[in-house]
């Protein structure tokens, strides 16, 4: 069992310069607390994401950490020129000593794609071709590629990743079909959906993995959850109930602005989020018990916490993360070894 971080870098009311500085202090804490990897979302024109250029923020992460792995979850491929992205990936992997994890997707929000002049209906095909091209560019000294969207002829790949053949690839899973695609490619996954839906996708992944790979060890199958830990259940719930609606307002911002319905909508209050399994707040004992239930139900082997969101202060986040690292992580690792 490993533990990671998922971060939107959603806006709060402190000055942006201070906001980035505080978030990087939390990244240093994740590193010292032996979390496995830091996964950063990409969003544009919305307070949901203050890291619209993930590579820029992750370069700072690379400098501030020694052991922590990190990466985008995910690069929205329709918004990138693939040659430029290949170069950024190689730079980050080399600069961090081979600690980069990479995730790719078509873009979670059609509105964000439209802002950049992209057609959301073509996003899946652009993503599929872009992913094939990027993997080819990371593994060959000269890139020749002829697709429907991109064509390149004998482009020298003068920079290469440190990890061979390329950094581990992660995928955001939302349905059994996407879980099957990820399993056939051997990708690591993170699922942010309610527990019941996460179980269905995880079951499908494991079935397809065994079909293709027999008893080979599974990649990391992650579940992402909002997590707040405090000395008591009441204290943790009070913080989560206060902070989550602020995050949710950022989450829905563009869709409300344009009067459009959301895909993958979330409850607008933390108590409902808890009921469907996407949020956990309480004492260390409560959080241990809830996460054990979810791991047993979904078969996850990787727990990804969203510890900083809404208006949670730096000190509140630090205390929550410290309690999680010192009390929750050891208990869940011990339970996993015993099982």
pLDDT of residue 107: 87
pTM of the full structure: 0.96
Is 59 part of a structural domain of the chain? yes
- pLDDT at 337 > cutoff 70: no
Residue 100 DSSP code: B
pLDDT at 231: 98
In a domain, 175, yes or no: no
Q: pLDDT for 283-308, tens place per residue?
A: 999 999 999 999 999 999 999 999 99
Per-residue pLDDT, 336:
59
pLDDT single digits (tens) 236-270 = 999 999 999 999 999 999 999 999 999 889 999 99
| Residue 330 counted as domain residue | yes
> pLDDT value at position 335?
65
Residues 80 and 150 in one domain: yes
In a domain, 7, yes or no: yes
H-type helices in 13-95, by residue range?
A: 16-32, 54-64, 82-95
For the chain, what is the domain count?
2
Residue 307 lies in a domain: yes
Pairwise CA distance, residues 45 & 40, whole Å:
16
* Cβ contacts of 322 within 8 Å, gap of 6 or more: 29, 33
Radius of gyration in angstroms for the set of CA atoms belonging to the chain, rounded to a whole number: 20
Asked if residue 113 and residue 34 are part of one domain, the reply reads no
pLDDT tens-digit series, residues 76-97: 999 999 999 999 999 999 999 9
Do 103 and 151 lie in one domain? The reply is yes
Cβ within 8 Å of residue 212, ≥6 positions away: 183, 184
Domain final position from 169, 184, 208: 169
The two three-digit tokens of residue 148, written as one number = 């429907």
Domain of 297 in residue numbering reads as 2-71+220-338
Within a domain: 178 = no
Whether 44 and 153 map to the same domain: the answer is no
In a shared domain, residues 234 and 251:
yes
Burial of 147 (0-12, 13-18, 19+ CB in 10 A): middle
Reply yes or no on whether the pLDDT at 206 is more than 80.
Answer: yes
pLDDT tens for 4-62 read 999 999 999 999 999 999 999 999 999 999 999 999 999 999 999 999 999 999 999 99
Q: Tell me the per-residue pLDDT of 151-202, one tens digit each, with 9 for 90 and over.
A: 999 999 999 999 999 999 999 998 899 999 999 999 999 999 999 999 999 9
């Amino acid at each position: 069992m490993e533990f990671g971080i998922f971060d939107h870098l959603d806006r709060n009311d402190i000055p942006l310069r201070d906001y980035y500085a505080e978030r990087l202090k939390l990244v240093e804490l994740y590193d010292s607390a032996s979390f496995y990897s830091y996964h950063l979302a990409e969003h544009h024109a919305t307070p949901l994401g203050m890291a619209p250029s993930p590579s820029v923020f992750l370069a700072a992460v690379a400098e501030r950490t020694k052991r922590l792995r990190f990466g985008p979850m995910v690069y929205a491929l329709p918004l990138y020129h693939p040659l430029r992205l290949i170069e950024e990936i190689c730079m980050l992997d080399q600069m961090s000593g081979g600690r980069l994890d990479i995730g790719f997707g078509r873009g979670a929000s059609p509105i964000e794609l439209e802002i950049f002049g992209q057609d959301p209906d073509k996003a899946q095909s652009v993503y599929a071709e872009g992913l094939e091209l990027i993997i080819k560019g990371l593994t060959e000294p000269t890139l020749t590629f002829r697709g429907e969207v991109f064509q390149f002829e004998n482009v020298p790949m003068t920079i290469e990743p440190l990890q061979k053949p390329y950094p581990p690839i992660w995928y955001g899973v939302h349905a059994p079909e996407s879980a099957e695609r990820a399993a056939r490619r051997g990708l690591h996954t993170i699922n942010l959906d309610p527990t019941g839906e996460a179980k269905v996708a995880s079951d499908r992944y494991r079935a397809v993995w065994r079909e293709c790979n027999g008893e080979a060890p599974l990649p990391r199958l992650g579940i992402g959850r909002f997590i707040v830990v405090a000395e008591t259940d009441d204290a943790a719930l009070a913080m989560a109930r206060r902070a989550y609606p602020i995050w949710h307002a950022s989450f829905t911002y563009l869709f409300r602005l344009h009067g459009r319905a959301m895909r993958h909508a979330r409850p607008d209050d933390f108590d409902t989020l808890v009921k469907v399994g996407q949020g956990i707040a309480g004492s260390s004992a409560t959080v241990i018990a809830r996460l054990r239930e979810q791991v047993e139900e979904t078969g996850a082997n990787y727990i990804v916490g969203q510890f900083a969101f809404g208006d949670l202060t730096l000190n509140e986040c630090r205390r929550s993360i410290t309690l999680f690292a010192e009390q929750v992580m050891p208990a869940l690792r011990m339970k996993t070894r015993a099982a």
